Amino acid sequence: MRALRLTAWGDPPALIDVEQPVPHGAEVLLRVEATGLCHSDLHVIDAAAGALPYRLPFTLGHEVAGLVAALGPDAEGVRVGERVVLYGPWGCGTCGRCAVGWDNYCDRRGTLHWHGAGLGRDGGMAGYTLVPSARHLVPAGDLTAEQAAPLSDAGLTSYHAVAGLRHTLGEGSTTVVIGIGGLGHLAVRILRATTASRVLAVDVREEALALADRSGADFGTLMRADTARVLRARGGGAGADAVLDFVGTAETLELATGILRPGGELALVGSGGGGLTVSKPGTQPPGFRLSLPFWGPRPQLAEVVALAGSGALPVETERFPLSAAPEAIDRLRRGQVRGRAVLVPD
Ligand code: FEH
Ligand code: ZN
Ligand code: ZN
């Protein structure tokens, strides 16, 4: 089968013919139908030797949907031919976090040589992929694979970030979403579908604001010198009860803390490398709380898939054949992907 594999740090991934894996024990073999392309894939591809604990070579792809193709003799809970979504953050499997499906916060994360499928372990940018256990699989219901795959990372990450703020998102509240890309547009939809909060969107691209509008944002504005004033005015003047920063640069964090209401909450999701200085006395809004949500827990993936199955979470995707992965990677680098790029084995 063809697989997009990272074979040397600093080299671009290569499409290579490899043996189709065979499931043993509790393993499940998936025939991959769609795999999302994520900015984290770029971070992995660009990583210098030693920067990540991963052992080469491995197949990329951590946002996967496909059909159950074969079961190991001890596998249970799924049936051959079923369409499933892959829960990608694989932990140690036995610590207190993994035991309840919160592998994204595995207690032994620092000792592992992987972070999950396509992240040090073979992932879904291939014809088939091997899953350690059926516990990592969520039935996709009537969703197409192209709609289901982005839920496993972009959808779950956005959903988990919103879940952590939900207690502040009641009637009359204001939420600002910074960065309306593959994750941000889903966060707008999730906020509109599951909270009463007013949703204001910020991006640097007009087409992203159009995507925010299609996703249900109440208002969108470009990132400019007066954006904080514009957002405050649109949000009723008190400031934002919650900000979700899907970019995470110094500029977006400055905007985020500049528009937060006292007692407001900031979820930093994007890995833009920006930082915050917090001190007392200091310049941050009193009572503000910061979270750094990472991906999400498996129970919440089931909730995201159910929400999408209700029709409330259509994902904007741009489809590429797996053979065009280098073009898709280049387009993502240049910020020229609308919504989420999805690779389909060809
Ligand atoms: C995966 C691995 C490491 C860092 C960040 C990520 C995200 O793409 C998961 O949503
Ligand atoms: Zn990702
Ligand atoms: Zn664990």
Fold of the CATH domain 2-153+296-344: Quinone Oxidoreductase; Chain A, domain 1 (3.90.180)
| Global pTM value | 0.95
3-state helix, strand, coil in the chain (%, to 5): 30, 25, 45
* Residue 337: per-residue pLDDT: 87
Cα(80)–Cα(341) distance, integer angstroms: 27
* Residue 236: per-residue pLDDT: 83
Which of 3.20.110.20, 3.40.710.10, 3.40.1160.10, 3.40.50.720 would CATH assign to domain 158-291?
3.40.50.720
- Nearest CA, atom 8, ligand 1: 40
* Residue 321: per-residue pLDDT: 98
Q: What is the CA radius of gyration of the chain?
A: 20
* Residue 237: per-residue pLDDT: 87
Q: Give the mutation target among 35, 64, 86, 153 for probing the ligand 1 site: most ligand atoms within 8 A of CB.
A: 153
pLDDT 10s digits, 184-202 = 999 999 999 999 999 999 9
The pLDDT of residue 338 is above 90: no
The pLDDT of residue 257 is above 90: yes
* Residue 79: per-residue pLDDT: 97
Q: Is 38 in the pocket of ligand 1 (CB under 6 A)?
A: yes
Calculate the average pLDDT of the chain: 96
What is the C-alpha end-to-end distance of the chain, expressed in Å? Answer: 10
Q: Give the mutation target among 43, 46, 183, 304 for probing the ligand 1 site: most ligand atoms within 8 A of CB.
A: 43
* Residue 109: per-residue pLDDT: 96
Work out the number of other CB atoms within 10 angstroms of the CB of residue 111.
9
Q: Is 40 in the pocket of ligand 1 (CB under 6 A)?
A: yes
Nearest ligand to the CA of 115 is 1
pLDDT 10s digits, 106-146 = 999 999 999 999 999 999 999 999 999 999 999 999 999 99
Of 147, 160, 30, the C-alpha closest to 105 is: 160
Domain locations in the chain as residue ranges: 2-153+296-344, 158-291
Planar angle of CA 135, 137, 139, nearest 5 degrees: 125
